[in-house]
Amino acid sequence: WISSRPGIGKTRTKDKYRVVYTDHQRQELEKEFQYNRYISMRRKSELSMSLNLSERQVKIWFQNRRAKERKINKKKLQHPQFVRTPPCPPPPSTPDQLHLRRSENKTRCLNSDSDVN
DNA sequence: TTGTGTTTTACGACCTCC
DNA sequence: GGAGGTCGTAAAACACAA
């Protein structure tokens, strides 16, 4: 299968539409995510090397992970009886707020749910 | 087994900031 | 203009009831 979306020159070949990450890769990424919702350039580079992923993959994983969290939070809001105290300060909802976090190690989320060791 | 719903990678469009 | 953010979506992978 080749991407046939109009106006898109890039193609995804059929043999590898997407790869499935190993449990170890997921665990390490998840650990980092619990520690920090937004990965720094340095950590991204370190993780990509240690997990044998590209920096782009690490970046996309974090984007998808945040999307997943937002989705879960949305669900919780629809079912407030299940809501506990939020684990982290609410993620920035606007891009300009996000950019405040851009450079190295801006905000570390050191909350109760993050099992930092 | 299979039909169906959900989750997981990966990308494009669009946005903001420097 | 480039980097990286969100949002929406495609399609593979997975879970699970029937």
Mean pLDDT estimate for chain A: 68
CA A72 to C1' C16, in angstroms, rounded, equals 21
pLDDT value of position A77? 73
Measured distance CA(A46)–CA(A56) in Å, rounded: 13
Alpha carbon of residue A57 to chain centroid: 10
Q: Which residue has the tokens 């079912």?
A: A79
- How far does the CA of A9 sit from the C1' of B11, in Å? 12
Q: What is the pTM of this model?
A: 0.73
- pLDDT digits 0-9 by tens, A48-72: 999 999 999 999 999 999 999 998 8
Given a cut of 80, whether residue A85 has pLDDT beyond it is no
**Strand, helix or coil for residue A95:** helix
Instruction: Round to whole Å and give the CA distance between A17 and A28.
Output: 23
Query: Topology of domain A2-78, per CATH?
Result: Arc Repressor Mutant, subunit A (1.10.10)
Mean pLDDT of A85-100: 42
Boundaries of every domain in chain A? 2-78
Chain A residues 37-76 within 7 Å (CB) of strand B: 56-57, 60-61, 63-64, 67-68
Give me the percent of chain A exceeding a pLDDT of 70: 53
Beta carbons within 8 Å of A39's beta carbon, 6+ residues apart: A32, A47, A58, A59, A62
Q: How far apart are CA A65 and CA A73, in angstroms?
A: 12
